[in-house]
Structure 1
Amino acid sequence: MAESEKPLLIKRYASRRLYNTETSDYVTLEDISGFIRDGREVQIIDLKSGDDLTRQYLLQIVAEHESKGESVLPINVLTDLVRSYTTQAGTMVPQFLAASFDAFQKSQSKWVENMNTINPMAKMPGFEAMQAQQEAFLKAMTAGVGVGGAWSGPSEDDSPKEGEDLDAIKKQLAELQSKLSKLDK
Structure 2
Amino acid sequence: MAEDNKPLLIKRYASRRLYNTETSDYVTLEDIAGFIRSGREVQIIDLKSGDDLTRQYLLQIVAEHEAKGESVLPVDVLNDLVRSYASGVQSVVPQFLATSFEMLRESQSKMMENLTKVPHPMAAMPGFEAMRKQQEAFLKSMMGNMPGWPGPQGGKEAGSEGAPDQKAEDELAQIKAQLAELQKKLSKL
Deviates more, 1:129-138 or 1:13-22: 129-138
Partner of 1:158 in structure 2? 172
Instruction: Find the residue that maps to 1:73 and give its secondary structure.
Output: coil
- Taking the aligned partners of 1:116 and 1:59, their CA distance within structure 2 comes to 35
**Is the 2:144–2:152 Cα contact (8 Å) retained in structure 1?**
no
Q: Deviations over 1:109-154 (max 9, x none)?
A: 111211222433777xxxx989967964664345164315438231
Runs of 5+ consecutive residues of structure 1 not aligned to the other structure = 165-185
| CA-CA distance at 1:157 after TM superposition | 3.6
Pick aligned residue for 2:142 from 130, 140, 143: 140
Instruction: Give the TM-score taking structure 2 as reference length.
Output: 0.71
Partner of 1:50 in structure 2? 50
Count residues with an aligned counterpart: 160
Distance change in 2, residues 1:69/1:2 (3 Å) = same
User: 2:133 matched to 1:119?
Assistant: no
**Is the 1:72–1:140 Cα contact (8 Å) retained in structure 2?**
no
Partner of 1:93 in structure 2? 93
| CA-CA distance at 1:4 after TM superposition | 2.2
Instruction: Give the TM-score taking structure 1 as reference length.
Output: 0.72
Give the alignment of 1:35-114 within 5 angstroms.
35-88=35-88, 91-114=91-114
> Percent of pairs identical after alignment?
61
Q: Deviations over 1:52-88 (max 9, x none)?
A: 0000000000111111111111111111111111125
Distance change in 2, residues 1:81/1:137 (3 Å) = farther
| CA-CA distance at 1:90 after TM superposition | 5.0
- Taking the aligned partners of 2:18 and 2:171, their CA distance within structure 1 comes to 40
Runs of 5+ consecutive residues of structure 2 not aligned to the other structure = 157-163, 181-189
User: 2:4 matched to 1:4?
Assistant: yes
**Is the 1:72–1:141 Cα contact (8 Å) retained in structure 2?**
no
**Is the 2:45–2:53 Cα contact (8 Å) retained in structure 1?**
yes
Partner of 1:21 in structure 2? 21
Deviates more, 1:76-85 or 1:44-53: 76-85
Distance change in 2, residues 1:90/1:77 (3 Å) = farther
